[in-house]
């Protein structure tokens, strides 16, 4: 069964600090992995997408890494800002004709001043 | 703004009511989706439409009835819902249905917060 596990479930950090969110998956065959940011009361917004051959992808202060061998991904946020407070969702899509992605439960990040 | 709008943003309904959720995308995309997001649970894909044809019904109860009159509009008709159906309902669109190695991104609307009493 395809699964995506995210950790931690929630995280509180001070403004200006860095943090790393984790995503482990068992989706097979692997096609791509996305990280989304979802602000409270809003829909998810895509941050990064990585395919099998990509190890890292950056989007401003967000850097995602992918290890396809260990089936792990991380999202690193540098110099956090109050606006980074949101839920971060890892989504893995399978290949082989399937188009139904597998979503993680998300990590809730709170950035305090 | 993502180019995907949803109305209403909030809806409270009784179990015997009939209501509809509306989604409109202004991106020229060919695929549209309905998702359900419950507290502490991953997003659940409900329906997928490609060029106005339903291509996926992910074991959704018949009290949820989708309608896609054209590639820009998507509706979710609700009737005789249960309290456990209370959730955030998200609409999304993408250029095409992502299959194989496609990296097409889905653009989500802001969602409709549904409460069933």
pLDDT tens-digit readout, B17-42:
899 999 999 999 999 999 999 987 89
Nearest residue on chain A to B10, alpha-carbon basis: A41
Whole-number mean pLDDT of chain A?
A: 93
Q: B104: pLDDT confidence band, cut at 50, 70 and 90?
A: confident
The per-residue pLDDT for B51 is 81
Query: Which of B2, B44, B103 has the CB atom closest to A43's CB atom?
Result: B2
- Is residue A29 reached through a cis peptide bond, with omega within 30 degrees of 0 on the bond before it? yes
The per-residue pLDDT for B99 is 65
Q: Does A45 touch chain B (CB under 8 A)?
A: yes
Question: For A23-30, what is the mean pLDDT?
Answer: 91
Comparing A53 with A18, which gets the higher pLDDT?
A: A18
Give yes or no for a contact between A110 and A21, defined as CB atoms under 8 angstroms apart: no
The per-residue pLDDT for B101 is 57
Residue A17 is encoded by which pair of tokens? 């600090």
Q: A65: pLDDT confidence band, cut at 50, 70 and 90?
A: very high
Distance CA B65, CA A18 (A): 44
- Considering only CB atoms, which residues of chain B are within 8 Å of chain A? 2, 4, 40-45, 48, 56, 58, 90, 92, 97-103, 105-111, 113
Query: Which of B44, B101, B109 has the CB atom closest to A31's CB atom?
Result: B101
Inter-chain CB proximity B105 and A46 less than 8 Å: yes
Residue A110 has pLDDT above 70, yes or no: yes
Q: Does A98 touch chain B (CB under 8 A)?
A: yes
The per-residue pLDDT for B98 is 65
DSSP string covering A26-60: --SSEEEEEEEEE-TTS--EEEEEEETT--EEEET
Inter-chain CB proximity B106 and A100 less than 8 Å: no
Which residues of chain B have a CB within 8 Å of the CB of A96? 100
Q: Does A87 touch chain B (CB under 8 A)?
A: no
Give yes or no for a contact between B47 and B58, defined as CB atoms under 8 angstroms apart: yes
Q: Using one digit for the tens of pLDDT, what is the confidence trace for B47-86? A: 999 887 887 777 899 999 999 999 899 999 999 999 999 9
Residue A60 is encoded by which pair of tokens? 């401003």
Q: How many helices (H) and strands (E) does chain A have?
A: 0, 11
The per-residue pLDDT for A28 is 84
Closest approach of chain A CAs to the CA of B13, in angstroms? Answer: 19
Q: A100: pLDDT confidence band, cut at 50, 70 and 90?
A: confident
């Amino acid at each position: 069964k395809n699964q995506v596990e995210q950790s931690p479930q929630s995280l509180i950090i001070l403004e200006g600090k860095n943090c790393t969110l984790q995503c482990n998956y068992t989706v097979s065959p692997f096609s791509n992995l996305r990280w989304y940011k979802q602000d409270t009361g809003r829909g998810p917004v895509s941050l990064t997408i990585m395919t099998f051959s990509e190890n890292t992808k950056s989007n401003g202060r967000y850097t995602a890494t992918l290890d396809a061998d260990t089936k792990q991904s991380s999202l690193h946020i540098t110099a956090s800002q109050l606006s980074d407070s949101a839920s971060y969702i890892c989504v893995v899509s399978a290949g082989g004709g399937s188009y139904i992605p597998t979503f993680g439960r998300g990590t809730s990040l709170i950035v305090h001043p | 703004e993502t180019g995907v709008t949803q109305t209403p943003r909030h809806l409270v309904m009784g179990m015997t009511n009939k209501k509809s959720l509306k989604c409109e995308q202004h991106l020229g995309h060919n695929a549209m989706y309905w998702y359900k997001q419950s507290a502490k649970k991953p997003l659940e894909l409900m329906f997928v439409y490609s060029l106005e044809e339903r291509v996926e019904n992910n074991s959704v109860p018949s009290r949820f009835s989708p309608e896609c009159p054209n590639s820009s509009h998507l509706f979710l008709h609700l009737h005789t819902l249960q309290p456990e159906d209370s959730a955030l309902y998200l609409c999304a669109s993408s250029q095409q249905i992502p299959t194989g190695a496609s990296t097409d991104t889905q653009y989500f609307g802001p969602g409709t917060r549904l409460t069933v009493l």
